[in-house]
Every structure is written in C-alpha cells, then in structure tokens.
Structure 1
Amino acid sequence: MAKSPNQKLKLLYLQQLLLQKTDDEHRLTADELIEVLARYGIEAERKSIYSDIEALQQYGLDVELQRGRGGGYYVASRAFELPELKLLVDAIQCSRFITEKKSNELIKKLESLASEPQARTLQRQVYVSDRVKTMNESIYYNIDALHNAISEGVQITFHYFEWVLDFSAQERICKRYRKDGALYQVSPWALTWDDENYYMIAYDAASNDIRHYRVDKMEHISLTDARREGQQMFHHQFNVAAYSRKVFGMFSGEEKTVRLRCENRFIGVIRDRFGSDIMVQKLDDAHFAVNVSVAVSPQFFSWVFGLGGAVQIIEPDDVCISFRQQLQDMLK
C-alpha cells in the first residue's frame, strides 16, 4: 500500500499537535497521537512516536512525559509563558492607539503562541472606563517608517494636522493641516510613549531646537536622502526619559528648575513623575522639598492643581506668579 504524501511531514505535524493541543494540564498519549496523525493520512506506530519525540527534544522542543493515570506527552515550556501572554493581551486591549480591529488581529496572533486550551483563557475583554480606541490604522505604518528613518539616519518629510470644529461642514470635526499644508522636514531621533500616545522626537534645523510630534497626527511620511542633523545635541545633551519627565502631556514650555513643597505621603507621586534620582530635603515632620526640571506650561500647572494643595510651587517667583494668574483666569 502506497504511503500518504503527508508521511514526509510526520515530524512537523507531530510538533504542531503537541504545541496546539498540549500543555502542563493537557496531555496526549502515544495512542492518541497516532489516532490524530491518522486523520492527516499519516501512519505511525508507538515505536516511531517515541523516536520522533526524542528527535523533537533534541531539536529543542521541551516535551515531557507524565506517567500514570491521565498522563501523556506535553509541551512543558514555550517562548512565552501564559502569564506573559495575558499581560500582553491586557496591554493591547488597554492601549488607546491600537484600533479595535488591530487589537483583535494581534490577540489572535498571541493565541497561536499558546496551546488551544490556554488560548481560550486569553479570549477575554479588559474594560477600562471611557476607553477610546483610535480609528487611525495608518499609525502602524507611520511607526514602521519612523523606525526605518531613525535606523537609516535620514531626514523625513510629512504633513501634520490638528482637529478643528467646522459647523458649516458635513463632518463637523475636521482635519486642518498645520503650516497651511506645507511639508515639515525634520531629523527623527527617537520614539517615545506618553499618556497613551506615540510621539516622535526630532531635531528641527529651522528653529535649531528639539521638537516632538504625535505620530497619529502625521501623514504622508517620506524618507529623504538628506542625512539626519542634530547629532551633537542628542548625543551629548539629550535623554529621552528625562525629556518625557519634564514635558507634561507632551506640551512644550520654557524649561526651568522649579522647587516644590510636598507632603511626605506624596513621595511616591513625585518619584513616579520625576524618577528615582531626585534629591529631597526635609522641611518639617510633614513636608519635604525637591528641585525638578520641568517645561513650564498650563499642563504642568494642571498637574500641580490636581494634587489638591499637597504639592506647592515655592520657587522661582515668576513661575509662582504664572500659576496664580492661571488660577485667577480659571475662576473668571
């Protein structure tokens, strides 16, 4: 009797069966493996199953045998453990910039890294209050293009837009391109994540300054032949993590050293915001002071205000005056 054309694929099918059907709580005996292989038109005997599994073990697949009642062969470890996959699923579900469609696609791919029984535990929803998923599918291609530009060390051009209201238009919330639709040309150096949005940090030769742009508001990104500029500024002066700490909500402002008076119970809030290398000074039994470098902006003032008086700006005077002025304007 002629052998099935699938016979040559026996080892591959066996590996696939073990990865899909087994884990430390679900096992398959040699007889069950033979039965499933037969559905693919592949003949197998117990002796050949033993030798095939040994070959897979030598190849690097972590297959173990549990003897006794309910025992059998199973994959004991994988590239990603189940808790790691659950963590990734939760991150995807909670991420605002990933669209619902792309979230489902990514989670489906993550499920393929687990056994089928484990994959069913990944099919869960993570509900976050007022979570809004972006509708912009192009962000994935934007991120890829920006990584390529950074890797190749070249400048990019793009259009940058903002959302505006136009009650005379059919769609009242409309795009409006900045600079009257003219192309931006900058040197990209880093991508960072802040407040659930991706930002590109770049050097702008026209202003001789560091700028940042929301990736989901960039369109028509093109890599140029021009070499990237601003290397000295980024290599010797720039730290992406420190930049993100200073710029509240990614709103720029004049960078200043600000002295804050804080209640002791807010040390965790200050540490989370400004990092673990801050220097604190005791003021009294209930308060400490800390000097931090920030981009002074309405968003920084909003952050201070949101802490309900437990954190106060005490220096410099011009920042204190600006904060009082913003509070007065709010009252009006």
Structure 2
Amino acid sequence: MANTEKSKLKTLLLYDYFLKNINAYDENSSVSLPDIQNYLLNVTGVEFERKSIYADIKRLNEFAVEVGLVKPGEEWIYLNSRKYTRGEISYELSLDEARLIVDAIRTTPFTDSGLCEKIEKRYPAYFKGGYKALIPHDNTVKTKTKFLLNTVRLSIEKKQALVFKYGYNFAGGLRAVSDKTVSALALDFENGYYYLIAVDNEVYEKCHDLEKSIRRYRVDRMKSYILGYKVPYYGDEPDKDKILEKYLKNSIDAFSSETSRLITITLRCDDEKTLLRAYGAFANDVKIKRIGADQPDKGIIEFSFDAGPVPTLFTQLFKLYTFDGLKVEIDDEEIREKFREYLNRALNG
C-alpha cells in the first residue's frame, strides 16, 4: 500500500486532521487509532494498517521539530490514556484568541463577515456546537457582563431589537433608570468600557432618520436586558454601514448632540512646545476634521471638529485654559456663552 497514490496523501491528511479537529487546549480532545483509520478510510477509500499510521505520526513529530512548530524534544502528537491528542504549535491561535477575533469581526459592521467562517473552518474544534459567548482577552469581565455582551451580539446578528433599563452608576447600583428600546448595530470598547452603538427606536419613530437616531450606551449602565422579538428593528437600512462608519469616525459620542456642528478653535502661544502640548491634550479625545492653520513655529494652530453644546465638550475646553501663556479663540458664539456660564457657576458656587 505504501506506493499507491492514496498512501502518499496519508501523512498530509493526518496533519490536517490533527490540526483542525483536535483542540490542543482541551485535554479531553483526543482520538483513538480506530477513529483515525475510519477517517482515512472515509477520505481515501483505503484501509490503512496500524503500523503505517504509527510511522506517519512519528514523521509528523519529526517534521514539527524540524520546522520549529514545537520545541526540540517535544512531541506534537502523543498518546494520552490510549488516545491520541496533540500539543500547541508555535504559530497557532489559542482558543480564546480565535474566539475573540471572531467576536470582534462579528460585531464590526465594516468587516467582511466571511472572515469569521474562514477562522471557524481553520479551527473547527474551537467552534463545535456553535459558539455564542464573548471571551475577553484579559479574563476580567464579570459573568453578568459576559451574558449581556452575548445578548447584545445576538441582537446584532439576529437583527432583533434590544430592550433594557439604563441608568447611572451610584453607590453600587443604578439610579435615574429609564427604559430603552434600541436596534443594536455594533459593540465598541474604549477607555476600559464596552459601549453599545444602536438606533434609539423611540427617536427613529419620531424622525425616521437613522443618522439622527444613533446613540452610544455604556454596557455597565445597562440591566434587565432582553431581545424584543415582537419589537421593530430599525438598524437594517441600505445605507446603514456608511452612516455608522461616519458616526464612529466623527467625534466620540460624548461630544455629539442633535445640534452638532463644525466648531473652529484657534490656539496662540509664543512657546511652541506649550502650543503643541495643548493641542495634543485636546485632540487626543476629539476627532479633528480639519486643520486650518498649522504653524506652531509661528505660534498658531487652528483646527475644526464636530460637537454640540454638551458638558463633556466644556470639560475638554477647560483643559486648554490650564496651559500658561496659551490664548484660546472659539469661533462659536453659543459655545462661548455656555462655557462662560459654566465657569461663572463654578467660581460663584
């Protein structure tokens, strides 16, 4: 049998079988010799002897060491309680890594979802029976949060509305709780928090404008969440991806409002380093859309960004006034007046 065309493929078929079907991170993932023989029979139509399979496993272990897949002295395929299993190879994704990548892709609407299927086909042992839970890379997310993230992702995948209560964290609980019904679009992770990007169904039903209806919800401020099976889902418009992409590329939602517009700020300072530090402190948290004057060596930087008159914007603006020698010009009368009002309130109690 050693000289047949089928037998020439046997070693490669065994390599592919162990790589794809045996999970190196699960000690219970193993296969008996009769199982291996049945697999080869089904694929090739040839019944191979035990000795030839032993020889191929030996060759695969030698190959794994030779090309650096495992360390010298280690066996890639080995017996464990009369069944064969395998160890991790050097370039291999771990179970958590593979699942995390699939989770990230599935909750990112601008990534070709076909990548998920490719990863699942590459590591089928990791996804047996279907995989439905987000696994954080640092293993620190609470169990309740994992369940919530899983529900959010199901809402995105199944295009079903999500119903939950939303409030403010205070003294170990949520206060000022309100009911929310949304059409989930994507998950985001920023500054140590998970965020749900979704269409507010109530807002959409009033304006029928997807772009004006998108909101960001911090996941740790959500509770009592369920999928709304009989509730309309509004996140499936033809231009949804473009609208969502624009939203995410814009200023972070904390600076957005229904009256968002382009705001221009001019910074002036004789000291170039102070000027650049001030600009950097502001630009780190806001998506700059345009640089009008970029002449720090001449003491001036002018830039524009989208924002509305919301408290988080004024918090960022205050940072600029902590730099000695810096002059700040805000080209928006309403923003200047509200900022002045907040400062007077702070100083006068």
TM superposition score category, shorter chain reference: 0.5 to 0.7
Question: Do residues 205 (structure 1) and 201 (structure 2) align?
Answer: yes
Q: Kindly provide the amino acid, as one letter, of the partner of residue 184 in structure 1.
A: K
**Residues 272-311 of structure 1 aligned to structure 2 (within 5 Å):** 272-275=284-287, 278-282=290-294, 285-307=298-320, 308-309=322-323, 310=326
User: What does 1:85-100 correspond to in 2, within 5 Å?
Assistant: none
- Per-residue CA deviation, residues 256-282 of structure 1 (Å, 9 max, x unaligned), is 211112324455445543457643413
Query: SS at 2:150's partner residue?
Result: helix
Which amino acid counterpart does residue 177 of structure 2 have in structure 1? R
Q: Which amino acid aligns with 1:79?
A: E
Q: Quick one: structure 1 residues 246 and 177, their matched pair in 2 at CA, closer, same or farther if it must change by over 3 Å?
A: closer
Q: Report sequence identity in percent.
A: 17
* 1:148 equivalent in alignment to 2:154: yes
Change (3 A) 1:255 1:53: farther
Question: Which whole-Å deviations, capped at 9, do the CAs of 1:211-270 have from their partners, x for residues lacking one?
Answer: 222212222222224442153673443324224x3433x775731211112324455445
Q: Which runs of 5+ in 2 are unaligned?
A: 1-14, 26-52, 77-88, 101-137, 205-212, 268-274
Aligned to 2:207: none
Is the alpha carbon distance of 1:161 and 1:276 closer, same or farther for their aligned partners in structure 2, counting shifts above 3 Å?
closer
Structure 2: how far apart are the matches of 1:321 and 1:232? 40
Equivalent of 1:241 in 238, 248, 261 = 248
Task: State whether structure 2 residue 163 is matched by structure 1 residue 162.
Answer: no
CA distance in 2 between counterparts of 1:149 and 1:311 reads 48
Contact 2:289/2:304 (<8 A) preserved: no
- CA 1:295–1:79: 2 relative to 1, 3 Å: farther
- Which residues in structure 2 correspond to 1:213-252 (within 5 Å)? 213-223=217-227, 224-230=229-235, 231=237, 234-238=240-244, 239-243=246-250, 245-248=251-254
Checking the alignment, whether the CA contact within 8 Å between 2:293 and 2:301 is kept in structure 1 is: yes
In structure 1, runs of 5+ residues without a counterpart are 1-10, 21-47, 89-124, 126-132, 166-172
Per-residue CA deviations over 1:59-95 (Å, capped at 9, x if unaligned) read xxx72249xxx964577723259xxx9xx9xxxxxxx
Deviations 1:78-118 (A, max 9, x none): 3259xxx9xx9xxxxxxxxxxxxxxxxxxxxxxxxxxxxxx
Report whether the alignment pairs 1:256 with 2:261. yes
1:308-319 mapped onto 2 (5 Å cutoff): 308-309=322-323, 310=326, 312-319=328-335
Residue 312 of structure 2: SS of its match in structure 1? helix
Aligned length: 234
Aligned partners of 1:261 and 1:313 also within 8 Å: yes
Letter in 2 for 1:220: S
- Checking the alignment, whether the CA contact within 8 Å between 1:164 and 1:174 is kept in structure 2 is yes
The answer to whether the Cα contact below 8 Å between 1:256 and 1:296 also exists between their aligned partners in 2 is no
Q: Report if aligned partners of 1:203, 1:210 keep a CA contact under 8 Å in 2.
A: yes
1:52 deviation in Å?
A: 2.5
Task: Tell me the TM-score normalised to structure 2 length.
Answer: 0.53
Match of 2:143, SS state, is: coil
Q: Tell me how far 1:158 sits from its aligned partner.
A: 1.4
Picking from 137, 162, 182, the partner of 2:143 is 137
Contact 1:281 1:289 in 2 (8 A): yes
Root-mean-square deviation over aligned CA pairs: 4.5
Match of 1:168 in 2: none
Aligned ranges for residues 42-57 of structure 1 at < 5 Å?
51-56=56-61
Tell me how far 1:162 sits from its aligned partner.
Answer: 2.6
Inter-partner Cα distance in structure 1 for 2:289 and 2:257? 23
Tell me the CA shift for residue 184 of structure 1. Answer: 2.3
Change in Cα spacing, 1:311 to 1:137, as seen in structure 2 (3 Å) is farther
Does 2:174 align with 1:190? no
Q: Equivalent residue of 1:259, what SS?
A: strand
TM-score, normalised with respect to structure 1: 0.55
CA distance in 2, matches of 1:274, 1:242: 10
Amino acid at match of 1:318: E
